[in-house]
Amino acid sequence: GRRRLQGVAVVHDLLVTLEEVFHGCTKHMKITRSRLNPDGRSLRTEDKVLNVVVKKGWKEGTKITFPREGDETPNNIPADVAFVLKDKKHPHYKRDGSNIIYTAKITLKEALCGCTVNVPTLDNRTMPLPCSDVIKPGAIRRLRGEGLPHAKTPSTRGDLVVEFQVVFPDRIPPQSKEIIKHSLAGC
């Protein structure tokens, strides 16, 4: 027979939310491709749904390949179709491997005088995080095991890292300045 060649894989982005990575999910991806009719020469266009299984904790860049699901022509072996995992932007968290980072905005008063921050978790709980010591800008606290599952051992999880952003007031009245100056004199 003739030697048939295979083209390079057709690669699609597969956008997933952190919640989907947390629980694992199956994405139903519709592709459109050409297939050869029984006459061996004419082509038809057909839709097909590929079920892409995303396992718990999979990282951005993970590639799932479906062999030979690309366009068919009289002369070629259909190319592979591949999906590459890509994280959707999350309203609360940034991802860092198996850890997720939550930025807690607190006021200067809260940073200096104490507060309790309500941290949202991936499974829709709220964890109260009491802060009694001075919180410095950029300081972090870890809620261990509240991050994403580790891809290789999904029974264990990364951390939810709380990173503090301290919001300063735009101005402080002169009389308050004087009082604060004296209160902070020994610090």
Which one of the spans 53-61, 98-106, 132-140, 150-158 is the region binding its own copies (CB under 8 A)? 132-140
CA distance 172 to 68: 67
Residue 152 or 171 with smaller CB distance to its own copies? 171
Residue 171 touching its own copies (CB under 8 A): yes
Q: How far is CA 80 from CA 1, 13, 58, 64, 71, in A?
A: 22, 14, 21, 10, 9
Best CA proximity match to 54, nearest among 127, 137, 151: 151
**Helix H or strand E encompassing 102:** strand 99-107
Which one of the spans 9-17, 19-27, 39-47, 135-143 is the region binding its own copies (CB under 8 A)? 135-143
Each residue 16-55 as x (binds its own copies by CB under 8 A) or -, in order, gives: ----------------------------------------
| Interacting residues with its own copies (CB under 8 A) | 107-109, 111-114, 133-137, 166, 168-173, 176-181, 183-187
